[in-house]
Chains A and B, each alone.
Chain A
Amino acid sequence: MHGISYYDLRHVTGEITHIEIDNAVVESAGTSLFNKAILRVLVRSGWGILQIDNYTPCSGTKFDELLGRAARLAGLTEEHVVLGDAPRGMLAVPQLKENPRDVSIEEKSALLADIENSANKPQIVNRRASYIERIETVRFSDSSGNEYSYEMNRSGFNILAVASRNGNVQMGYEREHSINGFNLRHQQESGTKAADIAVALLDATLAKGGKMRAVLDPELAGVFAHEAVGHASEGDLIQEGNSVLNGKTGERIGNETLTIVDDPGIHEFGFDPVDAEGVAVARTEIIRRGVINAFLHSRESLAAVGNGVAGHARAMPGEPPLVRMSNTFIESGDSTTEEIFAECKNGIFLKGSRGGQVDPGRGIFQFNAEYGYLVENGECTKMVRDVSLSGEILTTLHGIILCGNDRQMSPGYCGKGGQSVPVSDGAPHILLNDAVVGGSGVD
């Protein structure tokens, strides 16, 4: 029909519940509904894509009409997209420990208020807590007869505490998101921690920029893996010629202790039971023992580039699948945290993440810590604030000289091409040699 060589349809319906409490005031709380679909078509061509809000599943003439519209779009394209073969199959979605649906919004609101109130401490001028819960039903089908459907439930909260003294304004921020069910219970310590950090930062000094040894905590080292390696290994960027890792498979980029993995199949916040084009998800070792090993792929980028694994296509509801990371991490090594600090001797310890960004073509990345401490003689001393790190993908990874044995994952969201998807990043504590630290402090 219409000369179509391939199509797929991804239809997502769901509801979003949110609560926001700002200085003990329930600012907003409630539920919204959505229904979005995307139809992609190839006619031995590039993609013709229809994004449809409020889609009603249909068949026969009606569906044929949609295919015809998408096929006409495909007819405008100039590229002949080839899809690589990839294994099919869907993982089970993990059982929820407690289903958020079984908890009333009044109770959720009261629990969130407890967290918000636990940040109510001297010198804290503002506390803001948010709860967000997304329940999505995903239905996928394609012209090869593959069909999958599943329900995903993601929920979590964040708490921001702002401390102020004589015009000095600082913040502490904690968050927790989960695919394993309702997670608002017994979380007051998150509020306390956010408040304590904000207050402590009032007395922290500005970091002084320059080259030094840095110890990164598991959360920040995870962001480092995500920004420095993950994005540049995305097959669509490789295909466009917009990654410094293009053509570098098999080359050494770091030392033997360094293995970096993306795995959508593990039960962390970036979990997908099946990818957005119906391909089975799989663990991909991007860097194995310091050597560039495999890229993250969609079926299209796999066919165009090779050297990697499909199953990494992800999409927001109603949006086209892009090659994306899911759960990205540096594997544990065998150093203890004590050994890492002893080896660092003098430098800086960086904790937490305010996010990061990368220019994969240029191979330059930047990311920011929430706070840090100076390391003097292997001991953490003075607290520092507003400190970031930048580096070059092809050289900085050689600077990872020790990997700890204490990997932890942290949930978050990652933006690309206007789409934001849930991810997790993680690592053990790592020691980075010759880190380029940015900060506006001076002697």
Chain B
Amino acid sequence: MRWWVAVAWIEQLIREGEKAVDEVEVYFVEGTSVSADLKRKKLSLATISQDCGLGIRTIHKGRIGSSSTNDPGRWQECLAAAVASGKLATPQEWDGLPGTAPLDMAPLSFDASMVIEPDSAKKLLEPMLEGATKHTAEVTSGSATLSSMEVTLANSHGVRYTDRNTSVSVSLEAIHGQSTGYEFDQAWSVNRIDPATVGERATFFAHESADGKDIPTGEYDVLLSPLAYAELLGNVFVPALNGRNVHAGRSRLANALSERVADPMISMYDDPLLPGADGSVRWDAEGSPTRRIDFIRDGILCAFAYDLKTASRYGKKSTASAVRGGFGGSPAIGHHNFVVDGKRETVDDDRVVYVHNVVGAHTANPMSGEFSVELSNAFWVENGEFQEPIRSAMLSGNVFDLHHAITGLSHKSRAIGSLILPSVKINKQRIIGK
């Protein structure tokens, strides 16, 4: 029923827009989310959030205009703003918005049984707090969030797609003396998260990292957890695969197609149709049908990511990599389920510095790849066991170069946002002790 109500004004918007411009695209999102937040161990805040966003793009003789609002009742103003915006844009080569494709419309990351009620969020906190009692540490804060969203994409070439998705996340922070621990979990279905383990791991790291010992400055073999690796990969490496950055001269990988950019054991790909993954979608934020893109195969750089705008401008094809940030944002190049893969093995037999998380990865140099970050919850690990904790130190290096020094990928992978990563073992990395 709601779909048809939505269509009425969206159809009208497209008809109205076509009077002024060649092509019109409408992206409309409506969602509800609920959350329950802990202050220490007590539920101190319960929230219901109702969000909506309308993003309009217009294309006229290669000039792309856009505008957005979270008030769909003002679509006429928003359309006028998009058309005005197009008049300012520099005209570019433009291959047109996509038409309809015969896509299966069954959602890929939607749990129809998820109840978006504050009580459901509250219920997730209980096992998490129970799990947290396994180790001696104080809970400082925590949160559980459930949300559901409906996305509608329509354009003047007849595309009328809707998708629904759900998501659930829990997180907990703990402290023991001056040692902190943090853990989280996320999925599209409540059955796929494990709040008790989140609680247990948060207090485990807080407790076990206390009384850490200093480490002398030097070169060490390092094991980055998926969380620590995600920080470095997401801030530096992934943006360098973005076609717009590549053609604009903002990527160190710009001239490296067909070259070796990582150890031959490493492959990286975006698989938007990965069963069970949170970011799975059949069409991207511009309506292009999604497919797997292999960026790096056995260490060799094979492809970059494109949306329609960048692809048209540089004579490429869209890789269906368009995503939108927030409600009603403009499309930009991103990814859906970004996977680092390769031969798996046991990576924690030999003595190695295990890094659970890092502080300050966003300050890395995204052009050159240089970084130096503070370690969080670092330990000596040997024979698969946590040995003594490391108190405080910095890890310095270059995100691009370290991919040549990877010597092992762990058996298990973990989703960190839209990145699905193993733990990676890297030889001879520089650690600066205190």
Contact = CB atoms under 8 A, between A and B. Distances in A.
A, B: real partners = yes
Interface of A: 19, 22-36, 46-54, 69, 73-74, 76-79, 81, 105-106, 109, 125-126, 128, 162, 164, 167-171, 206, 209-211, 239-242, 244, 320, 354-359, 361-368, 385-388, 390, 392, 436-440, 442
B90 A25 contact: yes
B359 A357 contact: yes
24 contacts: A25-B90, A33-B77, A46-B42, A47-B46, A49-B46, A51-B50, A53-B71, A54-B73, A76-B46, A77-B46, A79-B39, A126-B248, A126-B250, A162-B250, A169-B251, A206-B370, A240-B140, A240-B141, A358-B359, A366-B373, A368-B363, A368-B364, A386-B368, A439-B370
Contacts of A368: 360, 363-364, 372
Interface string B246-261: 0011111001000000
A33 B373 CA distance: 38
B72 interface: yes
Overall SS of chain A's interface: strand
A209 B372 contact: yes
A239 B44 CA distance: 12
Q: Could you say which of B73, B81, B252, B359 has the most chain A C-beta atoms within 10 Å of its C-beta?
A: B359
A35 B70 contact: yes
A46 B372 CA distance: 41
Given A48-B46, A210-B217, A169 B84 contact: no
A46 B173 contact: no
Given A54-B52, A77-B46, A392-B392, A30 B432 contact: no
A359 to B, nearest CB: 6
B394 A79 contact: no
B78 interface: yes
Interface stretch (B97-105, B156-164, B174-182, B297-305): B174-182
Interface in B55-80: 64-74, 77-78
> What bracket does the count of chain B residues touching chain A fall in?
35 or more
A386 B262 CA distance: 22
Contact of A31 (B71, B73, B81): B81
Contact of A33 (B74, B89, B250): B74
B249 A126 contact: yes
Contact of A32 (B81, B368, B434): B81
B241 to A, nearest CB: 15
A52 B50 contact: yes
B359 A46 contact: no
Interface string B326-339: 01101000000000
A30 B368 contact: no
Contacts of A50: 47-50
Contact of B72 (A54, A105, A436): A54
A348 B89 CA distance: 44
A253 B269 CA distance: 49
Contacts of B138: 241
Contacts of B265: none
Contacts of B368: 168-170, 385-386
A159 B223 CA distance: 37
A35 to B, nearest CB: 5
B106 interface: no
- Residue from the set B68, B372, B392 with the largest chain A CB neighbour count within 10 Å: B372
B42 A242 contact: no
